[in-house]
Chains A and B, each alone.
Chain A
């Protein structure tokens, strides 16, 4: 069995939450903004319900993890479920996960402008 460099050394609760899975959807960055596309429905897993509630507004993966008090890897797994069933959409960051992609001047100018206006 091939293991990713990262997975959860999961206690029982986390094992239950993820249905025993430890392979997270790597496409979710810490700052990917998640948007709910439907309301929670009866019979849904409580963590999925909570995510859909929080994602009535765009919410970053890292904020979901903090609010749910779950490790990020576990949240990525849960988000993968919701994405696969079309219940959420994901707005991924413009900067890729590779260190090779550098921000351009236009983007940085926007960031500077925003910071100066704080």
Chain B
């Protein structure tokens, strides 16, 4: 245990720049999003469980429809480039899970429907020293109907160690939303966060399928 990869010796593909390719049987891609403010440890969490070194990519978004003028001036549109990290976990021969680290700040949320539609669910990563950053993300996820769990990333120097009950109260988090501690640097801890989320999703799906 402890190895982050389950790869066979790298298939010599110079084009892949060291990135382990998926097997030919891989057919289903799945998504989970990790949301949180700057510096909360999103990339750290992704890295701790990913089988590849986290990669970075970007999407260029243009807000159209808002104040598009008569002349249709292209320059009148607002263009934003949003970068995000992602990692990968091969769940089995056929299924591969992608983890996306996404900025939770208000100004990025217009991108979310676009970038993360079809996600299984989300992890809200919280830093107790900057809890304000989490409120908006939680509110948006609830509004959007995306199921999520909240994971408190405990730092070594977290002097004022709030209990989970205190944090639940501070975030006004309903009892039905799982809230757990984690250490984003530790693989077993990151894995536990993901298992908690998917188990939560499973319970939700079970309840739904059981409903008449």
Can you name the residue of chain A whose Cβ is closest to the Cβ of B79?
A9
Chain A residues in 8 Å Cβ range of B92: 110, 113-114
The total of interchain contacts (Cβ-Cβ below 8 angstroms) comes to 180
User: Is A41 engaged at the interface, CB distance under 8 Å to the other chain?
Assistant: no
User: Is B168 engaged at the interface, CB distance under 8 Å to the other chain?
Assistant: no
Best-buried of A7, A56, A57 by chain B (most CB within 10 Å): A57
User: Is A4 engaged at the interface, CB distance under 8 Å to the other chain?
Assistant: yes
Instruction: Give the total of A residues in contact with B, Cβ under 8 Å.
Output: 53
Chain A residues in 8 Å Cβ range of B68: 3
Which of B35-43, B126-134, B155-163, B193-201 binds A?
A: B193-201
User: Is A97 engaged at the interface, CB distance under 8 Å to the other chain?
Assistant: yes
Q: Mark A54-70, 1 if CB is under 8 A from B, else 0.
A: 10111110110111000
Chain A residues in 8 Å Cβ range of B97: 111, 114-115
Dominant secondary structure of chain A at its interface with chain B? loop
Instruction: Give the total of B residues in contact with A, Cβ under 8 Å.
Output: 69
Chain A residues in 8 Å Cβ range of B88: 60, 63
How far is B56's CA from A71's CA once the two chains are assembled, in angstroms?
Answer: 11
Q: Mark A84-116, 1 if CB is under 8 A from B, else 0.
A: 000000010111111101111100111111111
Verify B118–A29 contact, CB threshold 8 A.
yes
- Chain B residues 59 to 84 lying within 8 A of chain A, measured CB to CB, are 59-65, 68, 72, 74, 77, 79, 81
Verify B202–A112 contact, CB threshold 8 A.
yes
Verify B16–A54 contact, CB threshold 8 A.
yes
Chain A residues in 8 Å Cβ range of B64: 3-5, 7
Verify B62–A6 contact, CB threshold 8 A.
yes
How far is B157's CA from A98's CA once the two chains are assembled, in angstroms?
Answer: 42
- In angstroms, how far is the closest chain A Cβ from the Cβ of B180? 15
Q: Mark B88-102, 1 if CB is under 8 A from A, else 0.
A: 111110011110100
Chain B residues in 8 Å Cβ range of A31: 29-31, 96, 98
Q: Mark B103-146, 1 if CB is under 8 A from A, else 0.
A: 00000000001111111100000000000000000000000111
